[in-house]
Amino acid sequence: MSCRHNAWEIGADETFSWRIRLEICRKLRNITDAHQKIISWVADMADAGHSELTHAEIARQLGRGKRTVGEALRRARLLGLLECQAQYRPRPGSVLRWRSANIYRRTMPQSPAVPRPAIRRRHNGGTPGHARKEDLEKRLLNKERGGGAGQIDLLAARRKAMETKFAAPMRPLVKSSCYAR
């Protein structure tokens, strides 16, 4: 075994331990069931000698999306379950190169499995130009308090938002005389 990037390269005799580690990562919710199947399939293909795979090939073989495959392999790299080496081929008539298939290798992490490490991406809840509802409520409440640095009362902010939403007079839905008595 050789140590590289905080993980041990493993042989065929340690594959069972690696699969147990993969299952532990799934039970700790570091990866999903789909991620587990993708990572296991890629590792099996790498062990069988088919280590040069693209995300599109993996997605087509397993019936998954390219983004799901990419996210699964990203998490596997960060958890130390797989190593990825990017391959490049020269562009004809240029000094630039194209990225081609990646080479994957199964590795065993040295550190113990920890639930939910900080490997997830942060989602802002929308595009940069749009603020979330809670942010708007906080800003509205801070304006009312004069930009004060006090504690924010979210219930009051929600009430204020609902009052402004339904402040317009409501029109009757039905103007038929058949319902009038």
**pLDDT tens by residue, 74-90:** 999 989 899 888 888 78
- What residues contact residue 136 under an 8 Å CB cut-off, 6+ apart? 161
Contact yes or no for 30/116 (Cβ under 8 A): yes
Q: What is the mean pLDDT of residues 47-67?
A: 90
More confident site: 86 or 140: 86
Contact 35, 132 (CB under 8 A): no
Which of these ranges, 100-104, 119-123, 137-141, 168-172, has the smallest mean pLDDT?
119-123
**Ordered structural domains, the chain, with CATH:** 3-109 (1.10.10.10), 133-165 (no CATH)
Segment 76-105 shows an average pLDDT of 84
Does the structure show a pLDDT above 50 at 108?
Answer: yes
Radius of gyration of the chain (CA): 27
Which residue in this structure is represented by tokens 């596997």?
Answer: 76
* pLDDT tier at 5, thresholds 50, 70, 90: very low
Which pLDDT value is given to residue 96?
79
In this prediction, residues 146-153 reach a mean pLDDT of: 58
Provide mean pLDDT across the span 57-67.
Answer: 93
Whole-number pLDDT of residue 111: 81
Calculate the average pLDDT of the chain: 76
pLDDT score for 1: 38
pLDDT for res 121: 53
Q: Residue 15 — very low, low, confident or very high, per pLDDT cuts 50/70/90?
A: confident
Query: What's the pLDDT at 11?
Result: 64
| Maximum mean pLDDT: which of 11-20, 24-33, 98-107, 123-132 | 24-33
Distance (Å, rounded) from C-alpha 6 to C-alpha 58? 26
Cβ(126)–Cβ(120) under 8 Å?
no
